[in-house]
Structure 1
Amino acid sequence: MRISSRTLLLCCSMMVFSHHAMSETADAQTTHPSSGTPKDKSSSPVARKPKRARATESSVLGPANPQAEEISVSAAGRHSDGTTNTTPGGGLMPRQTAPRSQSGVTRDFIAKQAPSGNISSMIANLPGVVYANQSPLGTAGDTITMRGMNQSQIGYLFEGAPLADPINYEPYTSMLIDTENLGSVTVSQGSPDLNAPLFNAVGGQITATALNPSHKYGGYLSAMGGTHSANKEFLRLDTGDIGQTGIRGYASFSHLSNNNWRGPGGLKRFHVDSKFVKEWGDDNSITAVFGFNRQEQTTWREPTAAQWKQYGTSFNYDRHYYPGNANYYKLNFGNLNSLDVVVPMHFTLAHNLTLNVTPYYVHQNGPSVGGENIPAEGGYYGTQQYGNLNQPYATNGQLTTVGVDPWNQKTGAVNTSLNWTAGNNTLSFGYWYSYTMHEELSTFSPVDFSGKAANSYGRYPITLPNGSILSGYNLNFVQQVNALYLADTLKLLDDKLTLSAGFRAVMVARQGTNDVPGADPYKVVGNYFEPLPQFAASYQITPHDQIYINGTTSFRAPESVEAYSQIFDPNSSHAVEQPGSLKSEYSIGEEIGYRHSGKLINFSISAFNMNLTNHQVTSSAYIPNTNMLISEPINVGGETSRGVQAELGLRPWHHFSPYVSAQYLHATMDNNVPVSATNAAGQSVIDYLPTAGRAMVAAPKVTASVGLSYDDNKQFFGNFDLRYIGSQWSTFMNDQRIPYYIVSDITLGYRFPHVPHLKGPKIQLNIINLGNNLYRSAPGSFASTARAQTGIYGNSVKAGAPVYLTGGNFAAFVSLSTGF
């Protein structure tokens, strides 16, 4: 545990409010889905009474009942796809009131993007957000940074629950929801909500919500086709209000497939979404959200700088197999399978007392598969050498296999908060409990001379004469999280001044074992306790102008099971990957900002400062001699990030809505990085490289986006957006980087009028990467230096070779959709 002077100051700020009467706390209107128009009660599962005492709109906590501000599937004045054409910036700048940097997107923008996208791709234009795709369809996973923090340092919430991997923190947003059902996304670039069930959000928070069910029976149907043999079919059925039960809901099914834009292989995805709402009495509701995903994707090879220069986009897995070819594409793919259940509940216990309870269950599993040649005889199981494996298809003493990683993870949790209202004060008390089990047993399956894995990819793995399964790691991991929070909000000066303070205590207990022979340590235990105070103040200068300041803290427990366990390989007599740093990452941040929400223009600007200790840079690395990528956390010590972000959006003016966002970021390393080195006697030692003061990796100084939307609200619509991403370092010594790049997308659409039995049929063309720019979109791994160096103590440090993600090329997709 660490407490700085700034942390103590935040604690004291919270205590100032303890003598006041208390009340319910919530940031009830951080994002309005249709700014400029009165909120239709039919768009909310909770129709709050106007005279009812409500939580402040500018709270340090965040939304206590996130369903209350979502968009319905259909409502008066909306198109069948949920668009309203009212949000400034063409859906990129909804009104915000939270006392922190915050941006968002609504259906006005989401519905006009390619239907194959995901939550992360929808926010690529927002200030400070760097979204690096590998596929023009947006199906290849999440690589995103905000203010130099990557996706594992950003908290992802869906319907109030953290559905990201709770150990590796990967959000896997392509699994969560179809974009046809996505209602809105809100981005908090600097800090998480105090009551959010997160313990990794040092870089901010991304909150997504699903559309609310319609009150009317009907549905929505769409079909998409385009380049790379892409196709998607989507069907949603709405029950409407079911009699007088107060229940309504919908269920949807989709299928998506495409070929990889570079190299052989492709993707197949099957997905189910469902949401049901039950309302009764005075502001009581129960919502049930269900999601199921099954997908398989051939992976891409990630080139080094030299390989990119030599091969460009031709650096891929091989289309054809020959004996011993572990780079055959059918041996390298990943499955992402998930089952999600979230049940947010809101109860009115008394006129000034409410209770929120959100239980959730998440099951995610693989496998991930990568080709590898292993010794047919004399290899290693952990540190034990094995004899003849007695397997067919061996060539020159080597056996081509698929390394199978059938990771399996289950999480059950509940997040609760009790909110008490009294006068101008709010008091909220909450508790979050989460339990996670993670199993990961790597296996090997032989490949025959035609390139087909014998016995169906790991179903019958290679076993040793003693009956043991040949494995590089056999991990069993258990995690328990307990978190308590207390917050108070006071409104003064006719509700113009809002003061909020809160305190959160998070306790994370982890225990992991590795049952591979020779694993040292066999068992690792990690326990973390962190005090996390927050303070915020905002003043409403006019009904349209607001200023705010805040001070926040957050932390992240070490990322990935690899931080706790060794990784072995049959080609090595010792571990090829050692446990990483077990120290937690801790951040303290401050912001000051101003925003204007006018009749025509929305504008916001903020300045921020953040200091981190034990900054864990997330890299990835191939297990030597394999195509299996593993997470590799690197503790680089302290970091300081300072900058300014701004955005401006106009409401529709003569049917046009422009949008501009930008950020300047100055992120530097505070410490010299320890590295492995070789002394004059040829011995391996630890030395340091002079990295203090150098720019942080994957933190471009300047990012910007420009957007222009057109919608006559009748027939024709379209938008254009352009993004500029500055150069990014991939080494801590700042001696290798990727250059800046610019990408642009365009949408053109037409709504058909007066088609019998159909509601709002439309045709839409999405063009991705309009200029067919071929570029490296982000570092896929990091190295201390790209050139041989001499450490501070005179020892020799070898050069490293970071790998890079390759951004998707030009693509065009046509979609037809309609309500009914």
Structure 2
Amino acid sequence: KETGAVAKQNGGSKTKGKPFARLNTGEINGLSNWLSVSHTEGEMWRGSGAVRADKVEWNSFFDAGNGNTANLILKYHEQDNNSYSQLTKAQFQQNGRKYDPYPATPTVGSNGKYNSYYGLAQNPFQTFTAVLNTQFKLADNLALSVIPYYYWGNGSGVGSSAYALNRGSNQGGVFDLGNLPTAAQYNADGTPNSGVYYRPSRTQTWRPGITTKLTWDLGDHSLQFGYWYERARQSQTQPFIPLKSNGKPVDTWPDSNSAIVDANGNTVQGRDRFTVTPAQKVWAQDTWYINPDWTLIAGLAYMNVEREGTNHGSLNERPEKRNQTYNKLLPNAGLKYQLDERDQLFYSLSRNMRVPQNYVLYDKGAGSIDAEPETSWNHELGWRYSGDDMNLAATLFYMDFKNRQVSSRDINGDFADINAGSVVNKGLELEWSGQLPHHFNYYTSYTYTKAEQQDDLTVYNAGKPIVLPTSGKQFANVPKNMLAANIGYDDGRFYGTFGGKYTSELYGDLTNDEAISGRTVFNLGAGIYLPVDKKVVKDATLRLNVDNLFDKKYLDGVYTTKTNAASYSGFRDGDPAYIVGLDRTVTVSLEANF
């Protein structure tokens, strides 16, 4: 609410610089605003390429009094980065974490054309979001919340390969490629960048929606009625963009005017799909304050999601329309008991639904369009303690999944869902934090998760069913044990923090044939609250952060899950791909409030 500004400058081992600034207008007749901007630029920490991003955010808050408020938030983000490659376990062990399978210089195939190059691994993306959060006090015991929102995203992500396009490429019969030379003519021209193209996987998304909630307080009961509606549209295309003589694309943005067209002037597409997803949810919930110690919550929601898919046709696909609808009743309940002013017991139960990704509409695999939504019953039973200098929490959880979805990629590198059947996650979460003498503080947490698959998984190899032994196995990418601990110090002039996190091994496939080892990563932070002239600068802080202090070399998680990394009845799904853990990173920042 006060007029002022914030300025911050980051620099370190991974970035050339990250300036940030925010201007606060102060409050004028109930209206207050701020505007922030930032720019990030640096080199890739592994492989060739650069990281660039710009962000702008506007926030306005208006208080009309008597509980009537409006909050408008606008955000724009644009990045133009190279893509990081992911590694298999064998690649990591043999070549180390700095290995990058994306070549630093263009490689030439047997046809004399470029076929692989880091300059083709691009990840440009733009996003814009707008949210208007309005709250209206209709009566002393009646409040209305109306929250319209809008999201727009546009960009692409792609690997390092070039894609051939010539007169004989049209397998779907959608395009007339008579205006292009044949493969033999391209191969004979002696130019490595002709006949091969940058083909980004472009996604453009529009998501307008609105959430409305009515809260009605009736003594011991607080009733809430709500309705959410969203109509998302998503266009997924793969245009072909020419390459320069050095192997880089003439334009990295997928809506380039340089994209190749056929003899009829139509943009040639390796994929051209448009999906409309109307979704809605209606719910009612009652919070019953039975007495000062007991609170009961009970509610019921109904969710409906439609997928309306239009395949416009591409080099490999004929035009067609495919639709699917998903519906579920989603109840929830919770009970809270306040033992005393410090101790609280709680139990909660909820049912959730996650619908399959839109690409199940277009996948030609058996039963793809009939993929069931993932549902789960989630139970939590716990205890919380809040003291003057210490907080404790212990929670038991039990999550029963049906049609558990696993996001993976098929042999062509396209996204695909795996239905892992029934999976039960059960375990324990513990947290302990507090203050110590002499300005010290601490935090520690522990999580144990047993994510057990309940069914054997049937896959198909050349039409032949193969049953994989997945029953009783730990679900992929879920560590059984995680432990975090941190010690801090802050005396108002200096501060420091040191801590680490242990993550146990996790599997890259559902048959548990391949796992990456556990690891412990430590981080360090320190800072000085600088003495300032309060007439100009309100406060200033110099900060130092070191992530992965001891430079642990590790794989951080599964990027592409496989059904089986070992062979069963002659079928092997391939090697899981993993995210490479960041090396030691040092960042220094200076920030000031004016």
TM over 0.5: yes
Change (3 A) 1:468 1:502: same
Q: State the secondary structure of the residue aligned to 2:91.
A: helix
Question: Structure 2 CA distance, aligned partners of 1:525 and 1:272?
Answer: 38
Change (3 A) 1:755 1:578: farther
1:769 Cα deviation (Å)? Answer: 0.6
1:576 Cα deviation (Å)? Answer: 10
CA contact (8 A) 1:621 1:781 kept: no
Q: What per-residue deviation string (whole Å, max 9, x for no partner) do you get for residues 377-399 of structure 1?
A: 46433534956733999446983
1:358 is matched with: 147
Question: Structure 2 CA distance, aligned partners of 1:224 and 1:807?
Answer: 22
Change (3 A) 1:490 1:267: same
Which of 739, 747, 750 is matched with 2:528 structurally?
Answer: 750
1:250 is matched with: 34
Change (3 A) 1:440 1:468: same
Question: Structure 1 CA distance, aligned partners of 2:145 and 2:477?
Answer: 38
1:20 is matched with: none
Change (3 A) 1:432 1:406: same
2:66 is matched with: 282
1:233 is matched with: 19
Structure 1, unpaired ranges of 5+: 1-214, 567-574, 624-628, 679-683, 791-795
1:621 Cα deviation (Å)? Answer: 4.8
Alignment of 1:804 onto 2:573: no
Alignment of 1:543 onto 2:341: yes
751-760 vs 597-606, which moves further: 751-760
CA contact (8 A) 2:332 2:350 kept: yes
1:780 Cα deviation (Å)? Answer: 1.1
Question: Structure 2 CA distance, aligned partners of 1:435 and 1:639?
Answer: 31
Q: What per-residue deviation string (whole Å, max 9, x for no partner) do you get for residues 564-614 of structure 1?
A: 224xxxxxxxx7999566310000121110010001110000111111111
CA contact (8 A) 1:371 1:400 kept: no
CA contact (8 A) 2:221 2:287 kept: yes
2:587 is matched with: 813
**Which structure has more strand as a fraction of its residues?**
2
Question: Structure 2 CA distance, aligned partners of 1:611 and 1:498?
Answer: 25
2:310 is matched with: 513
Larger radius of gyration: 2
Change (3 A) 1:232 1:455: closer
Q: State the secondary structure of the residue aligned to 2:336.
A: strand
Alignment of 1:732 onto 2:510: yes
Which of 1 and 2 has higher RCO (CA within 8 Å, sep 6+)? 1
CA contact (8 A) 2:117 2:161 kept: no
Amino acid at match of 2:122: F
Amino acid at match of 2:343: D
1:642 Cα deviation (Å)? Answer: 0.7
1:486 is matched with: 284
Question: Structure 1 CA distance, aligned partners of 2:33 and 2:197?
Answer: 47
1:364 Cα deviation (Å)? Answer: 0.9
Question: Structure 2 CA distance, aligned partners of 1:381 and 1:721?
Answer: 57
Query: For this pair of structures, how many residues does the alignment match?
Result: 578
Change (3 A) 1:581 1:255: farther
Question: Structure 2 CA distance, aligned partners of 1:463 and 1:783?
Answer: 37
Q: State the secondary structure of the residue aligned to 1:798.
A: coil
Alignment of 1:216 onto 2:8: no
478-487 vs 463-472, which moves further: 463-472
2:180 is matched with: 389
Question: Structure 2 CA distance, aligned partners of 1:322 and 1:586?
Answer: 46
Change (3 A) 1:578 1:503: closer
Identity of aligned residues (%): 26
CA contact (8 A) 1:677 1:798 kept: no
Question: Structure 1 CA distance, aligned partners of 2:452 and 2:58?
Answer: 44
1:557 is matched with: 355
Change (3 A) 1:552 1:456: closer
1:327 is matched with: 116
Q: State the secondary structure of the residue aligned to 1:733.
A: coil
Q: State the secondary structure of the residue aligned to 2:499.
A: strand
Change (3 A) 1:285 1:731: same
Q: What per-residue deviation string (whole Å, max 9, x for no partner) do you get for residues 29-52 of structure 1?
A: xxxxxxxxxxxxxxxxxxxxxxxx
Give TM-score, length-normalised by structure 2.
Answer: 0.93
Question: Structure 1 CA distance, aligned partners of 2:425 and 2:120?
Answer: 41
The correspondence of residues 21-170 of structure 1 with structure 2, limited to 5 A, is none
Change (3 A) 1:374 1:631: closer
Q: State the secondary structure of the residue aligned to 1:239.
A: strand
Question: Structure 1 CA distance, aligned partners of 2:516 and 2:167?
Answer: 42
2:392 is matched with: 603
Amino acid at match of 2:300: F
CA contact (8 A) 1:391 1:446 kept: no
Structure 2, unpaired ranges of 5+: none
Question: Structure 1 CA distance, aligned partners of 2:172 and 2:397?
Answer: 49
Question: Structure 2 CA distance, aligned partners of 1:725 and 1:330?
Answer: 34
Amino acid at match of 1:806: V
Alignment of 1:403 onto 2:199: yes
Question: Structure 2 CA distance, aligned partners of 1:770 and 1:379?
Answer: 55
Change (3 A) 1:424 1:376: closer
Amino acid at match of 1:739: S
1:431 Cα deviation (Å)? Answer: 0.6
Q: State the secondary structure of the residue aligned to 2:97.
A: helix
| RMSD between aligned residues | 2.2
CA contact (8 A) 1:722 1:743 kept: yes
2:234 is matched with: 438
Which of 303, 317, 326 is matched with 1:528 structurally?
Answer: 326
Amino acid at match of 2:213: S
Change (3 A) 1:382 1:565: farther
1:15 is matched with: none
1:184 is matched with: none
Q: State the secondary structure of the residue aligned to 1:452.
A: coil
CA contact (8 A) 1:789 1:799 kept: no
Question: Structure 1 CA distance, aligned partners of 2:366 and 2:104?
Answer: 30
1:675 is matched with: 459
Alignment of 1:772 onto 2:556: no
1:448 Cα deviation (Å)? Answer: 3.1
